[in-house]
Each structure stands twice: as structure tokens, then as C-alpha cells.
């Protein structure tokens, strides 16, 4: 491994922030003033912690547009208070209009779920539901040509599963019913830089973008 | 449910399509600048940083630090909390430290945090109660200092800072961080606060060595 300078890495980020603040203020002197007044994001983004998918950047969005939760393998567990609190705050309080779950190709979590290697108790427990998906879809996965394809499919299945869990969240149930909140599954192709909408996850084909009422 | 009007439907469709249009433009721009950009990313990630920040839409971590895809591993939750019993954040810390071997962990809070504000509101917040309780606990730990600040806005600002400090402490309590630091001299934990007024990050200048020593008096998990 190349020698690393700790100070340089941190200085780089601090300098990066100064450039960001300066450039942003030059483009729009009122930008930060407006930002300070509050947030009204339309979208809750649930994505992977993976460093290669900075959501706001890859969607060319501005600060203030995406409320964000990112964890290992964009997994939503029914008993996870962390994600449930994010959902509650975003849906019941900020009243976002859409919830996006975005998985991705080459996902370390999905890859790890293709086997049963011991990752330590914490990660084994966290990834257990994803590994269960692999077992449940064993035949389908075995027919795929290679592990890249298999992990991409596991990532998709995991997005669908997270959406199923989200549909049971009380704030989401209520918002779907009261104001037509919609849920969307996506896959980000790291090798191409492209987002793909998963139709069956509640996209256009199944029930329209705005009426996940079922 | 009420059927959305034509206008609402059109608006929702447009705001949804915009993300995809933006994404295609972004990918195209990067491919033009560097045809290898996505192929390289596809090979794997080696981020130097783990960022634990707030879900707040106004703080896209990579954008405000000028980092590109592949450089920063990210966890974002309500009020950037690191709770001992939370498998979600613990999995992130574990993966980042033990598998990706990040060199720095940044806990970044921000002034005007809605989560911190909600936590200090005398109100039943339902499902959010247990999560926000952690912030009330931070207040209780620093009650004497906070009670002395008469200006309410300043008291919130200080609570935001102290919350970051306590979350840094919580990271130091993990076996993953203690053991990696004993072996490799990293990761280093940093506490920062982002200000909307000027878009700048403030370093709370946490004395990492001293904090770790203090923690290990009681929470020593360094022996494997």
C-alpha cells in the first residue's frame, strides 16, 4: 500500500469544502441564506453506503432535494429503528412525495450474500435477510452466467424486499392512502453510471407513479 | 384515496423524470472527460473516509467536501447518531474499518438540525421517541454547561456540537475502531459541524488520543 499522509487526506476535504462554499456563494450569493431557512425535499433516498454512489452528485441534484439514508446494501429491516426513524421523519414530518430505494451493481453486500463467509457477528446479522433472499431464489440465481450477474440480481431482489418492508411502515401506509406517496426501486449501474428504474417495484408498469395504493 | 388531478400527476411525473435526465447528463459528461471513469469505479472502492452525517437533504457529503465517487463511504441518519445497539450503524462502522480499512471517520452534525430541535421539544414524537432520546441523553450529560447558555439559539448550536462529540465517543467505544487503531494507528475520528449560513465546515478539534484514552479506562475492547 502506498504510504498515506493522514493530515493531507483531511486537509484535502477541508480545502474542498472551502472551494465549494466559495464557488457556491459566487454563483448565487443567497444560496446559503435560503438553505438556512429550512428544507423541503420531495424525495427520500435510501441507498448503499458505498462510496461510489454519491446520490446528489449522480442525480445532478442540488443540496435540499434528497433526504438521505445510506447503509450497508440499502437494506430495510422491519426491526431497524435507525431506518424507521429516517422514514418517519421524512414521510410524516417533511412529507416527501416519493421514496426511492436504490441498489447497485458490484455491491459488496450483495456479493457477500452470494456465500456464507463469516464477516463477524455484526455484519452476518445485518446481511442475514439478503442471504435468505439468495437461498429463496437459488434456482434462478444458479442459472445466471456469473457472480457479477448473480450479485446484480440479488441487489434487485433486495431492493424489492426493502420496498415490501417499507410498505408496512405506518407513516408510509398512511401517506400512500392520504396523499398518494409512491415508492420506487432503482438500480445504479456502477460501470455505466446509469440509474435504472425497476418496473415491478412500483414503477410505471404496475400502478402508476403516484398510486401505490394496494 | 383521492384521485390526483391531471396537474399534480404531470408535476410528479416531471419531478421524477428529472432525476433520470440529470443522471444521464451527468454520466455522459464524465464519460466524455474520462472514458475510463466508470470502468475504474467498477473495479472496486478504496475510500479513505467514512462519513457519518445527518439525513438532512441540504448536506450532500461528497458535494460539500469536493470529493468524487469512490472516495467517501457514507452513513446518514437522523441527527448523525451512533447508537451502541443499532445494528445498522454498527454494520457500517464494522465494514468501513475492518474491511475497507478507512483512515478517517468523520462525524458531521449541522447547526439548525431538525432532529436535535425535535428531540428537545416537550412532545410525544411517537416512533421517533426512542431514537431522539439519545439526544436528550446528550443534553443530560452536559446539563450544567447547556443550562448556563441563556440564548436559546446558541444553546441549540452548542447541543449540536456536543452531540457530535458524544457520537465520536460512541465510535471509539467499538471493538473495531479500538483494535484497528492499536494495530494500524488508524482510523482517526473527527468531529465537524456544517453551517448553512456560509456553507463551511467547522472542526471541533477533538483530541483523538486523549478521548480514546479516556474511553478505554472503562470501555476497553482492544484485546482480541
For residue B11, the surrounding DSSP H or E stretch is helix B6-33
Residue B3's pLDDT band (cuts 50, 70, 90): low
Which is catalytic among the residues B18, B24, B31, B58? B58
The question of ipTM being above 0.85 is answered as yes
Q: Tens of pLDDT along B69-86? A: 999 999 999 999 999 999
The whole-chain average pLDDT of chain B stands at: 93
CA distance A158 to chain B (A): 16
Provide the number of structural domains found in chain A: 2
- Find out whether B43 and B66 touch, Cβ atoms under 8 Å: no
Residue B9's pLDDT band (cuts 50, 70, 90): confident
Is B110 marked active-site?
Answer: yes
Q: Tens of pLDDT along A44-91? A: 999 999 999 999 999 999 999 999 999 999 999 999 999 999 999 999
* Percent with pLDDT over 70 in chain B: 98
Nearest to A190 among B30, B41, B118 (CB): B41
> Does the pLDDT value for residue A204 go beyond 60?
no
Most confident of A8-17, B120-129, B169-178: B169-178
Instruction: Flag if A6 and B196 touch (Cβ within 8 Å).
Output: no
In a domain, A213, yes or no: no
Is B40 touching A (CB cutoff 8 A)? no
> Does the pLDDT value for residue B46 go beyond 80?
yes
In a domain, A214, yes or no: no
> Does the pLDDT value for residue A20 go beyond 80?
yes
- Find out whether B23 and A56 touch, Cβ atoms under 8 Å: no
Q: Are residues A44 and A34 in the same domain?
A: no
Task: Please list every residue in chain A whose beta carbon sits closer than 8 Å to the beta carbon of residue B73.
Answer: 49-51
State mean pLDDT over B210-220: 96
pLDDT for residue B4: 65
CA atoms lying within 13 Å on the CB side of residue B21: 6
Cα dist. A17→A171, A174, B76, B178, B193 in Å? Answer: 35, 39, 18, 29, 12
The CATH number of whichever domain residue A122 belongs to comes to 3.40.1050.10
Beta sheet of B201-203, edge-to-edge order: A194-198, A182-189, A98-104, A43-48, A66-71, B72-77, B49-54, B104-110, B188-194, B201-203
| Interatomic CA distance for residues A138 and B69, integer angstroms | 33
Task: Please list every residue in chain A whose beta carbon sits closer than 8 Å to the beta carbon of residue B67.
Answer: 13, 16, 54
- Find out whether B108 and B164 touch, Cβ atoms under 8 Å: yes
State mean pLDDT over A24-33: 92
| Interatomic CA distance for residues B181 and B187, integer angstroms | 6
- Find out whether A123 and B87 touch, Cβ atoms under 8 Å: no
CA A99, A41, B6, B16 torsion-angle sign: negative
Q: Which of A83-87, A208-212, B172-176 has the lowest mean pLDDT?
A: A208-212
Q: Are residues A141 and A88 in the same domain?
A: yes
- Find out whether A184 and A147 touch, Cβ atoms under 8 Å: no
Q: Are residues A104 and A88 in the same domain?
A: yes
- Find out whether A159 and A185 touch, Cβ atoms under 8 Å: yes
Instruction: Flag if A89 and B92 touch (Cβ within 8 Å).
Output: no
Q: Are residues A2 and A69 in the same domain?
A: no
For residue A31, the surrounding DSSP H or E stretch is helix A31-36
CATH class of B45-216: alpha beta
Q: Are residues A6 and A87 in the same domain?
A: no
| Interatomic CA distance for residues B132 and B146, integer angstroms | 18
Residue B19's pLDDT band (cuts 50, 70, 90): confident
pLDDT for residue B2: 58
- Find out whether B73 and B45 touch, Cβ atoms under 8 Å: yes
Residue B166's pLDDT band (cuts 50, 70, 90): very high
> Does the pLDDT value for residue A205 go beyond 70?
no
Higher pLDDT, B14 or B105: B105
Q: Where are the domains of chain B?
A: 1-44, 45-216
pLDDT for residue A213: 39
Q: Which residues contact A109 (CB under 8 A, 6 or more apart)?
A: A48, A72, A73, A75, A127, A130
Q: Tens of pLDDT along A138-194? A: 999 999 999 999 999 999 999 999 999 999 999 999 999 999 999 999 999 999 999
Task: Please list every residue in chain A whose beta carbon sits closer than 8 Å to the beta carbon of residue B38.
Answer: 190-193
- Find out whether B189 and B206 touch, Cβ atoms under 8 Å: yes
| Interatomic CA distance for residues A91 and A43, integer angstroms | 9
Is A111 touching B (CB cutoff 8 A)? no
Q: What residue numbers bound the domain in which A31 lies?
A: 1-38
Instruction: Flag if A210 and B8 touch (Cβ within 8 Å).
Output: yes
Q: Are residues A76 and A33 in the same domain?
A: no
pLDDT for residue B106: 97
Q: Are residues A26 and A45 in the same domain?
A: no
Q: Are residues A20 and A81 in the same domain?
A: no
Residue A6's pLDDT band (cuts 50, 70, 90): low
Q: Are residues A63 and A52 in the same domain?
A: yes
Beta bridge partners of residue A102, listed in sequence order: A186
In a domain, A45, yes or no: yes
| Interatomic CA distance for residues B103 and A11, integer angstroms | 13
- Find out whether A155 and A71 touch, Cβ atoms under 8 Å: no
DSSP-assigned letters across all residues of B105-171: EEEEEETT-HHHHHHTSSS--GGGHHHHHHHHHHHHHTHHHHHT--SHHHHHHHHHHHHHHHHHHHH
The helix/strand/coil state of A45 is strand
The helix/strand/coil state of A73 is helix
DSSP-assigned letters across all residues of A134-195: HHHTHHHHHTSSSHHHHHHHHHHHHHHHHHHHHHTSHHHHHHHHHH--EEEEEEEETTTTEE
In a domain, A47, yes or no: yes
Q: Tens of pLDDT along B103-127? A: 999 999 999 999 999 988 999 999 9
In a domain, A32, yes or no: yes
| Interatomic CA distance for residues B207 and A14, integer angstroms | 18
State mean pLDDT over B28-55: 93
Residue (of B166, B174, B112, B108) closest to B136 by Cα position: B166
C-alpha cell at B51: 462519513
Q: Tens of pLDDT along B127-152? A: 999 999 999 999 999 999 999 999 99
Q: Tens of pLDDT along B183-197? A: 999 999 999 999 998
CA A49, A53, A58, A59 torsion-angle sign: negative
State mean pLDDT over B20-32: 91
CA distance B196 to chain A (A): 5
Amino acid at each position: 500500500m502506498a504510504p498515506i499522509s493522514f493530515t493531507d487526506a483531511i486537509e484535502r476535504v477541508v480545502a474542498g469544502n472551502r472551494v465549494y462554499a466559495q464557488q457556491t456563494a459566487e454563483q448565487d450569493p443567497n444560496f446559503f441564506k435560503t438553505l438556512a431557512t429550512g428544507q423541503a425535499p420531495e424525495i427520500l433516498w435510501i441507498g448503499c453506503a458505498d462510496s461510489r454512489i454519491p446520490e446528489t452528485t449522480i442525480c445532478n441534484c442540488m443540496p435540499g432535494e434528497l433526504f438521505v439514508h445510506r447503509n450497508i446494501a440499502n437494506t430495510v429491516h422491519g426491526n431497524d429503528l435507525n431506518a424507521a426513524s429516517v422514514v418517519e421523519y421524512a414521510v410524516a414530518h417533511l412529507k416527501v412525495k416519493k421514496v426511492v430505494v436504490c441498489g447497485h451493481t458490484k455491491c459488496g453486500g450483495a456479493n457477500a450474500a452470494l456465500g456464507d463467509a463469516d464477516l463477524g457477528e455484526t455484519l452476518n446479522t445485518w446481511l442475514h435477510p439478503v442471504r435468505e433472499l439468495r437461498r429463496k431464489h437459488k434456482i434462478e440465481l444458479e442459472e445466471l452466467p456469473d457472480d457479477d450477474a448473480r450479485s446484480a440480481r440479488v441487489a434487485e431482489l433486495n431492493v424489492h424486499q426493502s420496498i415490501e418492508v417499507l410498505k408496512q411502515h405506518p407513516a408510509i401506509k398512511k401517506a400512500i392512502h392520504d396523499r398518494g406517496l409512491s415508492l420506487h426501486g432503482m438500480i445504479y449501474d456502477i460501470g455505466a453510471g446509469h440509474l435504472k428504474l425497476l418496473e415491478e417495484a412500483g414503477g410505471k408498469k404496475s400502478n402508476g407513479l403516484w398510486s401505490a395504493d394496494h | 384515496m383521492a384521485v390526483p388531478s391531471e396537474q399534480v400527476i404531470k408535476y410528479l411525473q416531471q419531478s421524477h423524470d428529472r432525476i433520470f435526465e440529470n443522471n444521464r447528463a451527468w454520466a455522459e459528461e464524465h464519460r466524455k472527460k474520462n472514458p475510463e471513469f466508470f470502468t475504474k469505479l467498477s473495479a472496486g472502492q478504496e475510500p479513505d473516509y467514512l462519513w457519518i452525517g445527518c439525513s438532512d437533504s441540504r448536506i450532500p457529503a461528497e458535494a460539500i467536501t469536493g470529493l468524487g465517487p469512490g472516495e467517501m463511504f457514507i452513513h446518514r441518519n437522523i441527527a448523525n447518531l451512533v447508537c451502541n445497539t443499532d445494528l445498522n450503524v454498527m454494520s457500517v462502522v464494522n465494514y468501513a474499518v475492518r474491511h475497507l480499512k478507512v483512515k478517517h471517520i468523520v462525524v458531521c452534525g449541522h447547526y439548525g438540525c431538525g432532529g436535535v430541535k425535535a428531540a428537545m421539544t416537550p412532545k410525544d414524537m411517537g416512533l421517533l421517541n426512542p431514537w431522539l432520546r439519545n439526544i436528550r441523553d446528550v443534553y443530560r450529560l452536559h446539563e450544567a454547561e447547556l443550562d448556563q447558555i441563556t440564548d436559546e439559539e446558541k444553546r441549540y448550536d452548542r447541543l449540536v456540537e456536543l452531540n457530535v462529540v458524544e457520537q465520536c465517543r460512541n465510535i471509539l467505544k467499538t471493538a473495531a475502531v479500538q483494535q484497528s487503531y492499536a494495530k494500524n494507528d488508524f482510523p482517526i475520528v473527527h468531529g465537524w459541524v456544517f453551517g448553512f449560513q456560509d456553507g463551511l465546515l467547522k472542526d471541533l478539534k477533538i483530541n483523538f488520543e486523549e478521548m480514546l484514552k479516556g474511553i478505554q479506562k472503562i470501555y476497553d475492547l482492544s484485546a482480541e
